[in-house]
Amino acid sequence: MIHNSRITPLMLVLCLLTALYPHSIFGTADETFSTQTKLVDPNPNEVGNYGVAIDVDGDTAVVTRLANFFTGVPGAAFIYVRQGSSWTLQQTLSEQDNEPNADDGYGFSVALKGDTLVVGAIGDSTAAFNSGAAYVYVRNGTTWTFQQKLTAAQPVSNSNFGISVDVLEDTVVVGAHLADSAYVFHRDAGVWTQQQQLLPSGGPEQSFGLSVSISGQTIAVGAASFSEPGAEFSGAVYVFVNNGSEWIQQQRFTAHDVAADQNLGFTVAISGDTIVASAPGESVGAHSKGAVYIFERNGMTWDQKKRLVERSGAKLDSYGVRVAIDGDTVVIGSSNDSTVAQFAGAGDVYVRSGNAGWSLKYVLTANDGGFLDLLGQTVAISGNTIMLGAPQQNNLKGAVYIYQ
């Protein structure tokens, strides 16, 4: 549960890191997601929470290692490509500064689409002290090269620009939740310029920009500290659509049953006319927290369709800290799941099927899952490929599992 009106970087790290081969799958007997591959840091002696941010698109996956201020380990983004059923490291990317710093937070967020990759660096001080930045890379053939470093046109110190990122074709969205902003950048002839600064309609102190996601001409922005009257920090999701010249707010929505400390919008993910939003602070039962909401667009209006609160003796707090969606499939991180071992973690996979709606179809676990692995702290999906990160595994060295 998050009690502050602001969600600080330390709280985010704590939520990510402490809140938290053959297959091990429960649910159905089909072969979907039945092949499991484990990825680890190619530098085995580094301790940098490998898997703190992940994404996948088709046959390409990216895993980041967070820079470690105390040990001086630099942040990095590792690019993998699929060949058959195997994943091979293609390239390692790092900051392009003359003097990269371990406190820049390079690798805290990542987004991949086609031949464009974006890596967030929430502590970068290029534009203003600790204001943050986002690095854009492009692929030509089999080689990724640095294209441009993005910062806000009017940077704000300590804003956490880059806490969340997403990319689609020539559009990049970057969240800066401590400035209650999300920034939209557009690429023209290989040059990125800030197109618009998105702001919440309800005023500041909402953590607007903590999460962002783009699909088509629609952007979803999470505001986990938004407060309804009588329900502090219940959270909200803002939806913006492009009218051809600018992004305009289409709707702001909250959960039907608003409650204090839900933190709806801690993570958002959009695919077409469906948005999935996490509410990791929501109380579910006497001793567990976390819910996930699914909203669908009908015409110009978004309606709540499903509230997912799967619970058992093996599913405890931190349910839904991270979520992802692709078409009719939603992946939910259940990092404190204790099915395999105490707090080994898991990923719940829900599938939408016509009038039957959404139902739990798979529970993905690691065949070598162990105590306090917290698998599911990060999640990603593309088609029939799912990634689950366990950045706390092996004494904070981290690991990532790919299911296909």
User: What sign results for the dihedral spanned by CA atoms 246, 380, 254, 121?
Assistant: negative
From 71-80, 193-202, 217-226, 238-247, the region with the lowest mean pLDDT? 71-80
Q: To which H or E segment does residue 11 belong?
A: helix 9-17
Tell which wins on pLDDT, 6 or 379.
379
- Other Cβ atoms within 10 Å of 313 Cβ, number: 8
d(CA 120, CA 183): 13
Residue 15, SS3? Answer: helix
d(CA 239, CA 222): 9
pLDDT of residue 314: 53
Q: If you average pLDDT over every residue of the chain, what do you get?
A: 89
- Its pTM stands at 0.91
Please indicate, yes or no, if residue 1 is contained in any of the structural domains. no
Q: What is the CATH number of the domain that holds 26?
A: 2.130.10.130
pLDDT of residue 103: 67
Please indicate, yes or no, if residue 74 is contained in any of the structural domains. yes
For 49-60, give the DSSP string: -BTSEEEEETTE
- Other Cβ atoms within 10 Å of 249 Cβ, number: 15
Q: How many structural domains does the chain have? A: 1
pLDDT exceeds 90 at position 237: yes
pLDDT exceeds 80 at position 290: yes
The domain containing residue 389 runs over which residues? 9-403
Question: Which range, 24-33, 62-71, 96-105, 350-359, has the best average confidence (pLDDT)?
Answer: 350-359
Mean pLDDT confidence for 307-319: 70
For 141-162, give the DSSP string: TTEEEEEEEE--SS--TT--BT
Mean pLDDT confidence for 111-124: 96
Please indicate, yes or no, if residue 2 is contained in any of the structural domains. no
pLDDT of residue 99: 52
Please indicate, yes or no, if residue 4 is contained in any of the structural domains. no
From 102-106, 125-129, 172-176, the region with the lowest mean pLDDT? 102-106
Span 262-272, pLDDT tens digits: 999 999 999 99
Please indicate, yes or no, if residue 3 is contained in any of the structural domains. no
Mean pLDDT confidence for 381-393: 96
Residue 316, SS3? Answer: coil
Span 238-262, pLDDT tens digits: 999 999 999 999 999 999 999 999 9
Please indicate, yes or no, if residue 251 is contained in any of the structural domains. yes
Q: To which H or E segment does residue 134 belong?
A: strand 133-140
Strand (E) positions, 343-384? Answer: 346-353, 357-364, 378-382
pLDDT of residue 3: 37
Structure tokens at 290: 């976390």
Instruction: Report the percentage of the chain scoring pLDDT > 90.
Output: 75
Please indicate, yes or no, if residue 87 is contained in any of the structural domains. yes
Span 134-181, pLDDT tens digits: 999 999 999 999 999 999 999 999 999 999 999 999 999 999 999 999
Tell which wins on pLDDT, 362 or 10.
362
Span 42-83, pLDDT tens digits: 988 887 799 999 999 999 999 999 877 676 778 899 999 999
pLDDT of residue 238: 98
Please indicate, yes or no, if residue 397 is contained in any of the structural domains. yes
